[in-house]
A = this chain, B = another copy of it.
Amino acid sequence: MGNSRIWTAALIVIGDEILSGRTEDRNIAQVARWLNRQGIRLLEVRVVPDQEQAIASAVNTLRSLHDYVITTGGIGPTHDDITVDSIAAAFDVPVVVHPEARRVLEDYYRDRPLGLTEARLRMARVPQGAELIPNPTSGAPGVKMGNVYILAGVPNIAAAMLEALDGKLEGGRPMVSVTVRAHTAESDVAALLKQVQDEHPGVSIGSYPFYRQGNFGADFVVRSDEEELANACANELRRRLADAHIEVADEA
C-alpha cells in the first residue's frame, strides 16, 4: 500500500482539424477518465498536425517516457490519414496489410456498395508486428504497436475501442477524487487550503473557481490513490470551511 508502482500514459491527439479550431476535441477528457478507471495516470497530452515527422517524433519521445501511449485520429481511408505510416516510421518497420483486419473489412463491406475498395483496404494497414484492437462500432479496427494504442478520432468510435480495451492494460490503483464545493472566492480560503493539504501527505487539493449564471464559487478537488486518505482530508476541509463560516454546498 502507498508504495505500489505508478503506471503512466501520454495521449497524442492527431489532427489539423483540432489545431485549426474547426473541431473541438472530445477525446482528451474521455481518454483521461478511462485511463483513471484503469489505474493509469495521464501525465501529458500532445496535439500534433497531420505530418509524419511531427507524429513520429511525439510517439518516439512519449513511448520511452511512459508505460502507455494512446493516439487518436488519422486512421481512416483518406489521403490525410497517415497515422499508421507515421507510427511505422517511428518504429522503423514497414507497413503491411493485417490479414485479420482485411477479413474484418471484407465482412463489413460485403453487402455495401462498391465492397472492399482500395481506399477502404487502407484501413487494414498496420505497422509490421502490430495487433488489432476490436472496433464494435464501425468496421476498421484500432491498432496496438508495442505500448502504443492507435484509436480512431471520431469520439464514439474511440469510446468503443476504449471499451474493448477495458481491464486489458495493467494498472495500479485509480485516483479517488472528492469534490468539496463552496460558495466563496478561492482567494478567501487560499491559506486554509494549503494548510489542509500540507497536513495530509499523499493528498493533493486542486482549486477550481467557477462563474455560472451570476453564481460564483470554487470546487476544491481532493485527490489521492488511497480512498480513506481522500475522504479524511475532504472531511477535515469541510470542517475548517465551516469553522471559517464558509458555506459548503451539499452536493458538488
Residues of A near any B CB (own CB < 8 A) = 13, 16-26, 28-36, 41-50, 54, 76-81, 113-114, 117-120, 122-123, 154, 156, 175, 177, 186-188, 190-191, 193-194, 197, 204-211, 221, 223
Contacts and interface: CB of A to CB of B under 8 A. Distances in A.
13 contacts: A17-B208, A19-B41, A19-B42, A20-B175, A21-B31, A24-B26, A44-B46, A44-B49, A45-B47, A46-B47, A80-B204, A80-B207, A119-B188
A187 B120 contact: yes
Contacts of A36: 20-21
A81 B80 CA distance: 39
Nearest to A79: B194
A74 to B, nearest CB: 10
B16 A32 contact: no
- How many copies of the chain does the oligomer comprise? 2
Contacts of A41: 19
A32 B19 contact: yes
Contacts of A120: 187
B22 A221 contact: yes
B22 A25 contact: no
A78 B21 contact: no
A54 B24 CA distance: 25
A79 B193 contact: yes
B211 A79 contact: no
Nearest to A138: B211
Nearest to A179: B22
Most B C-beta atoms less than 10 A away, residue of A24, A49, A50, A79: A79
